[in-house]
Structure 1
Amino acid sequence: MELSSILKPSAVKVASTVSSKKRLFQDLGDVVNECYGINGSEAFTALQQRESLGPTGVGRGVALPHARLSGLDKVVGCFMRVEKPFDFGAVDKQPVDLVFALFAPEDSGVDHLKALALVSRTMRDASICAKLRANTDTTTLHALLTESLSNKAA
């Protein structure tokens, strides 16, 4: 599995301000609706429900919200770089500015876990996160994310 098969270039966004987790989830719902035809309110609700089980803010300014949805035939993702970090309730109590959301079919099982592990490995790389924070061009952000994984796999 490669990130380029999960993340469309159009699903990479830069947000100038996100004031809350709820607002972020609404924005992510809009992005997946626009890019993948997923019902935005269903995506929002699924993210909220998953977050109620435990925080997906993994630390060092990174959040990996994820949810399973009916009607999907493969795992898809969207990435958002937030210009002003905000309180996400992350495990390390640090504000979040890099968000990679995953949406998987309800019965995806191992594919969902593989995608989550792939994204998690990438977002744990401090040099990749530094490059993501240093750029606001969505094409560059997409390239950084997809190339970093290809290089790691090689």
Structure 2
Amino acid sequence: MNLSGILKPEAVKVIGAASSKKRLLHDLGELAQQAYGLDAPLVVEALQERESLGPTGVGHGVALPHARLQGLGDVTGAFILLEKPVDFDSVDRQPVDLVFALFAPQDAGVEHLKALALVSRTFRDAGICKKLRSNTDPAILHAILTADQGVQAA
């Protein structure tokens, strides 16, 4: 498994700023609808439900919101780069500017976990995060995220 199988080029977006975490989740829902034809309100609801269990801001300006969705066939992702970071209730209390959302089928067991581990490892790489933060072209961001960096799911 690699990110090129999860992330479509049209699921990568740069946003100047989000007024709040809730607004950012709505932006992710809209992006998932545009890129994958998912129902934006259902995506937002699922992401908010997951956030209510505990924030998915993992630190160092990175958030990895994720949700399981009924009727989804494959694990998919969406990436947003925020030019102005937003508070996301992260574990380190720092605002986030790199947001990778992962959407999995309701019954996806190990595939969802593998994808989440892959995304997590990718964003733990300070070099990748630095490259992402220094680019605002969605095509370049997609290329950075999907380049074979030796990061593989277990």
Q: Calculate the TM-score normalised by the size of structure 1.
A: 0.97
- Segments of 5+ residues of structure 1 without an aligned counterpart are none
* Root mean square deviation, CA, Å: 0.9
Question: Cα offset for 1:91?
Answer: 0.2
Q: In the comparison of the two structures, how many residue pairs are matched?
A: 152
In structure 2, the residue matched to 1:61 is 61
Question: Cα offset for 1:137?
Answer: 0.3
**Identity rate of aligned residues, in percent?**
64
Q: Calculate the TM-score normalised by the size of structure 2.
A: 0.97
Question: Cα offset for 1:3?
Answer: 0.5
Distance in 1 (CA, whole Å) between partners of 2:14 and 2:71 is 27
Is contact 2:122-2:151 (8 Å) kept?
no
Distance in 2 (CA, whole Å) between partners of 1:151 and 1:19 is 33
Question: Cα offset for 1:44?
Answer: 0.1
Deviations 1:52-109 (A, max 9, x none): 0001000000000000000101000000000001111000000100000000000000
Equivalent position amino acid for 1:18 in 2: A
- Segments of 5+ residues of structure 2 without an aligned counterpart are none
Distance in 1 (CA, whole Å) between partners of 2:35 and 2:60 is 28
Equivalent position amino acid for 2:27 in 1: D
* Aligned partner (choices 138, 150, 153) of residue 152 of structure 1: 150
Is contact 2:14-2:138 (8 Å) kept?
yes
SS of the counterpart of 2:150? Answer: helix
Question: Cα offset for 1:151?
Answer: 2.5
SS of the counterpart of 1:151? Answer: coil
